[in-house]
Amino acid sequence: MDATRGSSHHDECHTPMTLLVSLRALVCLGLSTLCVVSCATTTRQTAFVAPSYETVVAEPEESPDGVHQSVFMVNHSTVPVVITSFQLRDCVNVSNPCEAKPMRVLLSPGQRALVATIGPIDRARAYSYHYSWTWDTPH
């Protein structure tokens, strides 16, 4: 080849600008790979929390009318559960039947659901009750 057209071999790695571009590409590729690997390894692991009567709990709240009480069930475990019954006992001036009520309320982990609203027969008198519930894991 003649001197005005350059040499017959092609070598881009020796020019400073091309070397800089190649280094940038290599650094970017390395950072991208590091980010992907880092993101994949920092996935948050949720600790297992077994369902129990300490993690499947009732939360009573006064209703907006100030007379009734709403009873919510909350699943603080990491496993779905089914509330299978809710029982009122030792009822005094309660309009709800004072008995066990079978039910099937599915609660996902972290979910909360209303299972009963309890009120008095006579609003002019105080009312009281105790309650309990049963739960199971879905089959």
- Among residues 118, 21, 29, the alpha carbon closest in space to that of 72 is found at 118
Distance from C-alpha of 40 to C-alpha of 32, rounded to nearest angstrom:
12
In the predicted structure, residue 118 carries a pLDDT above the cut 60: yes
Angle at 108 between CA 51 and CA 111, to 5 degrees: 95
Q: How confident is the model at residue 139 (pLDDT cuts 50, 70, 90)?
A: confident
Which band of pLDDT confidence, cut at 50, 70 and 90, is reported for residue 117?
very high
Indicate the average pLDDT of the chain. Answer: 80
The architecture in CATH of the region 56-136 reads Sandwich (2.60)
Domains of the chain, by residue range, sit at 1-43, 56-136
Strand partners, 58: 73
| Confidence (pLDDT) at 33 | 53
- Cα separation, 116 vs 87, in Å, equals 10
Is residue 24 pLDDT above 90, yes or no?
no
The CA-atom distances, in angstroms, between 25 and each of 20, 31, 91, 139 are 9, 10, 76, 54
User: Quick one: which of 91, 94, 86, 88 has its CA closest to 113?
Assistant: 86
The answer to whether the pTM exceeds 0.75 is no
pLDDT in tens, 58-67: 999 999 999 9
Q: Provide the phi-psi class of 6: left if phi over 0, else alpha when psi is between -120 and 50, else beta.
A: left
pLDDT one-digit tens code per residue, 51-100: 999 999 999 999 999 999 999 999 999 999 999 999 999 999 999 999 99
